[in-house]
Structure 1
Amino acid sequence: MNAATERPIDRWFTSYSGDHRNDTNQWIHVFAVPAILWSVIALLWCIPSPGTWFQPGFWAALAMFAAWMFYYRASRPLGFGMLAVFVVMAWFTRWLYLAYGTKQLLTLAIAVFVVAWIAQFVGHKIEGRKPSFLTDLTYLLIGPAWVLAKLYRKFGWKY
């Protein structure tokens, strides 16, 4: 693909991949990025919903919808894949919320968030490069799509 026909998502992935060349760092990201994504969803789930019209998870749903719009605009196949990821993570989070309550969900989400970020920074120490999001916060959205795109490529699916 030449620069004139290259999609913005391809440019994002090329740049992101440049900061993630080391195999160990890539493997860390394959596990830590989805863990961070889930922990953010769970943290947002724990924020009380406004009024009586909204259910627990309102803020998480709002954030997932906004992120999904970003992914869908960047690539329809990735958008649908991220929608599936969000649905699974929302169901899992709801199950944990109903089974254990807000306090335990919050505790677990914080623990996963901290451990996954430590893993990310260890991976970047091994890589010898700073995390991409330190140059542009958009990379916080690119990371999950990059991981999903790796899965798509493994199955021979186009994104």
Structure 2
Amino acid sequence: MTKLETLLSQYAAYHLDHKNILTHFVGIPLIVFSIICLTARAGIVISGVEITLALIIMLLSILYYLSLDRIFGFIMLVVFVLMYPFAYSIAQWGVAPWLSASIAIFVVGWVFQFVGHFYEKKKPAFMDDVIGLAIGPLFVLAEMVFMLGFRKDMEHRMLQEAHKQRELMDAKVVHSASTS
């Protein structure tokens, strides 16, 4: 398995219920968008070009995603390029409306996440491994690509490994409960 498949499998082990995955299609983009909104306000101008914290975060994210997979990394680049102007325009609002809107979007995104995990009966992946926060957007993208019928071999390997990891997670919970 590739590094990407390993990371997606680890994340997918917490996301095997289709209702949970569907809530992530809404929740994760909202959370990512809100973070871009919040960080697009902080920046400096260099040679007439404003470099915001959001641009730096997006650049680092894209470099990480490209290191995992060129196709997914490129698609995420396109998503960020399309998302940034909207987030930047919100960042130009007055302080109270910008902060209120950004935080509201963030909270709504997390509500979707936790509703999904209610269906899943599992805590979010990032609670066991913080890398889940970076892999979440890539997981949603991968799920979309799989739903469109592409990269089915990757999906098969990822799901096979995710089910194995889920069985181990469930066995640990049963073992912990029986020893308590």
- Counterparts of 1:20 and 1:132 in 2: how far apart (Å)? 8
Give me the whole-angstrom Cα distance separating, in 2, the residues matched to 1:125 and 1:156. Answer: 28
Q: 1:109 to 1:55 in 2, by over 3 A?
A: farther
The 4+ residue runs of structure 1 with deviation greater than 6 A are: none
**What SS class does the counterpart of residue 129 from structure 2 fall into?**
coil
**Identity across matched positions, percent:** 32
Instruction: Tell me the equivalent position of 1:3.
Output: none
Query: Deviation at 1:60?
Result: 0.2
CA contact (8 A) 1:46 1:106 kept: no
Q: What residue is the counterpart of 1:84 in the other structure?
A: 78
Q: Distance in 1 between matches of 2:135 and 2:26?
A: 15
From 30, 33, 45, the counterpart of 2:28: 33
Q: Which has the higher strand share?
A: 2
- Tell me which of 10, 18, 36 is aligned to 1:15: 10
User: What's 2:176 paired with?
Assistant: none
Rounded Cα–Cα distance in structure 2 between residues aligned with 1:106 and 1:23: 33
Distance in structure 1 (CA, Å) of the matches to 2:150 and 2:98: 35
Unaligned runs of at least 5 residues, structure 2: 155-180
Cα 1:61–1:87 shift into 2, 3 Å: same
- 2:105 corresponds to: 112
Following the alignment from structure 2 to structure 1, what is the Cα–Cα distance between the partners of residues 134 and 96? 27
Q: Which of the two has higher C-alpha Rg? A: 2
TM-score (ref. length: structure 1): 0.86
Whole-Å Cα distance in 2 between the matches of residues 86 and 103 of structure 1?
A: 25
Q: How does 1:112-131 map to 2 (within 5 A)?
A: 112-131=105-124
State the one-letter code of the partner of 2:27.
Answer: A
Contact conserved, 1:44 with 1:57, CA < 8 A, in 2?
A: no
The structure 1 residue matched to 2:52, chosen from 35, 55, 58, is 58
Q: 2:38 is matched by which residue type in structure 1?
A: L
TM-score, length-scaled by structure 2: 0.76
Residue-pair matches, total = 151
Separation of aligned partners in 1, 2:136 and 2:119: 18
* CA–CA distance in structure 2, aligned partners of residues 95 and 114 of structure 1: 20
SS of the equivalent of 1:115 reads helix
Gaps of 5+ in 1: 1-5
RMSD after superposition: 1.9
Local SS of the residue matching 2:25: helix
Please say if residues 65 and 72 of structure 2, whose CA atoms lie closer than 8 Å, have aligned partners that are also in contact.
Answer: yes
